[in-house]
Amino acid sequence: MLVFKFGGASVKDAAGVTNLANVVKQYTDQQLLIVVSAMGKTTNALEKLTKAYMDQADDMHDIFNEIKEYHYNILAGLFEPGHPVFDEVANTFVEIDWAIEDEPHDSYDFVYDQIVSIGELVSTRIVNAYLNKEGLKSKWLDVRGYVHTDNTYREGIVEWDKTKTSIINDIPALLEKGIIVTQGFLGGTSENFTTTLGREGSDYTASIFAACLGAESVTAWKDVPGILNADPRYFADTVKFDELSYTEAIEMTYYGASVIHPKTIKPLQNAKIPLLVKPFTDPSAAGTVIKEDGHNQFTKPVIILKQNQVLLSVSGKDYSFITEDHLSDVFRLFAQNNVKVNVMQTSALSFSVCFDLNEQRFEKLLNGLKQDFKVKYNEGLMLITVRHDGVNTIKELTEGKTILLEQISRNTIQVVVK
């Protein structure tokens, strides 16, 4: 039994969906569970719609109409007029109509999950219908009934025991009957509300199903030839890893390597299930294999860039030392506001921390910290992480930039710059 995950880039248009079906046709002798992300940049567009709704902006309906038109154009390239999938997609979009009909009353994160989740619900309707059209017997599955989470909206924490029971009870029998197509990124609460698992969370969804079902492997089909030492959008001379150990992959994703969601690896490591990262444009390519005994070969340093960073420093209002009690209060506020720390550094009089900017969460964090601390911060920064022999690389990458924070450990150098 195999688990496939197809990201947004692989289904960004009608040709992408056709290519997905052609990939699946090469594995008809296997039981397949397919996890699909929202199409193209739909998640970004739905995030924009969520903000417009919360702000009650004048262009809210224009944004929504563009999203619908984008999907209807894909449908038109795949199906004849009158196919039932047109009504299925229209009925799914009605959920957004209902959500934005009244003025917002719920929290931003709750509204975000109810709106942004529609991207995956629509994409999987389209993919499932096309697979059946191509003679590949497929069943659409609502993941919210199987991946159970708590009520932490935008960062749903998986309730593993309940999730595993739901998956084991139903999925093996369904796989006997054909392919399963379901949504990445989404979960459901005990009150039947939708949660999301964090941006790029579809990889994590695939690993959840694989770990619960004891899959042979997970394949993440990407728009890159495998896992590279650096992002090819910024570096021309990247090299591909043929193999990586689970440990190295976890380190890379923790520091911000965007090719795999950070939570993906650990469930697979626990179950000893390999993760393959392969290009959807060339299914026969070897890609990268992540496994227990994966051999790490670092002919070049690993370089990870994280944009849109905040560097924040807190100090006591009375110029006292920063003690363990102070740090406890600071970390409590970070946890309450779901702000994840990328780098931290402490001195006698201050504590500095670097993290991704989320405007709503940052504002709440800032208000909480200012009650007891003096706070200074810089926005619009970049965090550069270099692993494995990176001293010379860091010098090149920081040339002409102002270094605001630097941290060096055995295998890793991290620098915050503007």
Closest to 246 (Cα-Cα) out of 229, 269, 273: 269
Which amino acid belongs to residue 92? Answer: T
Residue 233 annotated in ligand binding: yes
Closest to 312 (Cα-Cα) out of 407, 404, 394: 404
Residue 43 annotated in ligand binding: yes
Asked if residue 197 lies in contact with residue 265, where contact means CB atoms within 8 angstroms, the answer is: no
Q: Give residues with Cβ within 8 angstroms of 389, minimum separation 6.
A: 298, 301
Q: Give residues with Cβ within 8 angstroms of 346, minimum separation 6.
A: 322, 327, 352
Residue 294 annotated in ligand binding: no
Q: Give residues with Cβ within 8 angstroms of 416, minimum separation 6.
A: 309, 311, 343, 354, 381, 382, 383, 384, 403, 404, 405, 406
Residue 8 annotated in ligand binding: yes
> In the numeric block, which tokens belong to residue 216?
């042979």
Residue 120 annotated in ligand binding: yes
CA distances from 394 to 38, 93, 361, 406, 413 (A): 35, 47, 31, 10, 8
Residue 243 annotated in ligand binding: no
> In the numeric block, which tokens belong to residue 94?
């009605």
Residue 42 annotated in ligand binding: no
Asked if residue 150 lies in contact with residue 159, where contact means CB atoms within 8 angstroms, the answer is: yes
Asked if residue 369 lies in contact with residue 332, where contact means CB atoms within 8 angstroms, the answer is: no
Which amino acid belongs to residue 35? Answer: V
> In the numeric block, which tokens belong to residue 245?
């150990």
Token pair 């919360």 is found at 54
> In the numeric block, which tokens belong to residue 92?
């799914």
Would you tell me how many other CB atoms lie within 10 Å of the CB of residue 23? Answer: 18
- Residue 35 backbone dihedrals phi, psi, to 5 degrees: -105, 130
Phi-psi region of 40 (alpha: psi -120 to 50; beta: other; left: phi over 0): left
Token pair 């990870």 is found at 304
Asked if residue 339 lies in contact with residue 362, where contact means CB atoms within 8 angstroms, the answer is: yes
Asked if residue 131 lies in contact with residue 19, where contact means CB atoms within 8 angstroms, the answer is: no
The length of the chain in residues reads 418
Annotated binding residues for ATP, written as ranges, equal: 5-8, 233
Annotated binding residues for substrate, written as ranges, equal: 43, 120
Annotated binding residues, written as ranges, equal: 5-8, 43, 120, 233
